[in-house]
Amino acid sequence: MFHREGHKIILAALVILIVLALSSHFFLEDEILKKVLMSVFIILFLLIIQFFRNPNRDIQTSENQILSPVDGKVVVIEEVFDKEYFNDKRLQVSVFMSPINVHVTRYPVGGEIVYSKYHPGKFLVAWHPKSSEENERTTVVVKNKIFGEVLHKQIAGALAKRIVNYAEVGVKVSQGSDSGFIKFGSRVDVLLPLDAKINVKLNQKVKGGITIIASKNES
Helix axes 7-27, 31-51, angle to 10 degrees: 180
* Residue 215 is a catalytic residue: no
Q: 62, 186, 215, 219: which one is catalytic?
A: 186
> What letter would DSSP give residue 130?
T
Burial 8-17 (b: 16+ CB within 10 A, else e): eebeebeeeb
Distance (Å, rounded) from C-alpha 210 to C-alpha 58?
Answer: 8
User: Of 215, 216, 207, whose CA–CA distance to 69 is shortest?
Assistant: 207
β-strand partners of 216? 196
What is the CA angle 23-29-35, rounded to 5? 70
Catalytic residues: 186
